[in-house]
Amino acid sequence: MTWQGIEGHDAIVDRFRRGLAGGRLPSTFLFVGPAGVGKRAFAIKLAQTLLCEVNPPELIDPCGECPGCKQVLAGSHPDLAIVGREEDSAVLKVEQFIGDREHRMQEGLVPWVSLKPTRGTRKIAIVDDADLFNQESANCLLKTLEEPPPGSMLILIGTSEQRQLPTIRSRCQIVRFRPLPDETVARLLLETGAVADSFEAERLAALSGGGLRQAIALADPELMEFRRHLLSHLGRPGWNSVALGKSIHAFVEAAGKEAPPRRERLRSIIGFCADFYRQLMARLSGAVPAGDPQLREAVEGAASAWPGDAALAADRLERCLDALAHVDANAHLVTVTEAWIDDLAHG
């Protein structure tokens, strides 16, 4: 079923429908799930539902035509605020929540949400890029999350619970968005014009982990060429960890000067490695490797000369997941890469 043009999250729609019908809807939420599965779109449609001036919220069916609905979609509703990472920053800034030093608690999200609604009975704040809180900006929001002003709702959007500070996580109701089915991702790739060929759409969907944004990123021929280079190394016995680490570092740096695209590129590379070791573990356990032909070929090549058993492959997979956690925690990328690759080769 599709809700308001958003696919794959029927259980979450039902959760909000029941909460609104019973008058038990919490005031603070943390939406988590892979990038590109519709979390932000869902949050905006929920805001439209709550600020619609025609249909009651418990219907979960905003009319789309009233002034409130139109203003939400235009981003101009006086009772809706959306905060995200600014282009010149790698983190969410303190000033976005409590104003600059000359205007502390006069500007920003926190004083805004404490004011009475301009229209109706609700104010809704959406914080995109919640993965990018630092300790200082998170602290600005803690009291508001713990004691939300009457009639307010705060929705934070991130990719995983692990990327959130414990102080943020403990104050929010967690809403988990599942990865989209491959067939849905493939269809959306075609419908949005990200790719024109159905075979390519299916291939990218199978590699995407259920996220449209990742599927679109994988359409980058440079990234896919590096994946081929990476798998060719992992599929050979005794590969050179120093050479591979240098090539990964150079490719990550080529993503640009800003930290977020470099981190996303390294996340993709680590994800490719995690897929490789996941399939190698399955192969060494007697299963047939899954994935695209390139991945299967690399796994078969590695399995014939693998120095250990499935447990060793599982250990390497766990090391990849640890590296992802370090990237998510904003660790230094060069240090993460060097330690991770060395452990894969020799650990």
Query: pLDDT tens across 313-325, in order?
Result: 999 999 998 998 8
Q: Is residue 186 part of a domain?
A: no
The reply to whether 247 and 161 lie within a common domain is no
The reply to whether 12 and 126 lie within a common domain is yes
The reply to whether 41 and 152 lie within a common domain is yes
For the ranges 147-156, 223-232, 234-243, 284-293, which has the lowest average pLDDT?
284-293
CA distances from 50 to 73, 120, 134 (A): 13, 10, 30
Q: Which token pair is 126?
A: 């959406």
The reply to whether 28 and 166 lie within a common domain is yes
Q: How far is 81 from 144, CA to CA, in rounded Å?
A: 15
The reply to whether 171 and 245 lie within a common domain is no
Q: How far is 146 from 309, CA to CA, in rounded Å?
A: 49
Q: Is residue 210 part of a domain?
A: no
pLDDT confidence of 331, banded at 50, 70, 90?
Answer: confident
pTM of the model: 0.80
The reply to whether 164 and 32 lie within a common domain is yes
Q: For position 313, what pLDDT does the model report?
A: 94
Of the candidates 321, 230, 225, the one whose C-alpha atom is nearest the C-alpha of residue 269 is: 230
Q: For position 258, what pLDDT does the model report?
A: 84
For residues 101-126, give the mean pLDDT.
94
Which stretches does DSSP call E strand in 6-118?
6-7, 28-32, 80-83
pLDDT confidence of 11, banded at 50, 70, 90?
Answer: very high
The reply to whether 156 and 238 lie within a common domain is no
The answer to whether residue 71 scores a pLDDT higher than 80 is yes
Q: Is residue 183 part of a domain?
A: no
The reply to whether 342 and 242 lie within a common domain is yes
Which domain range does residue 341 map to?
220-346
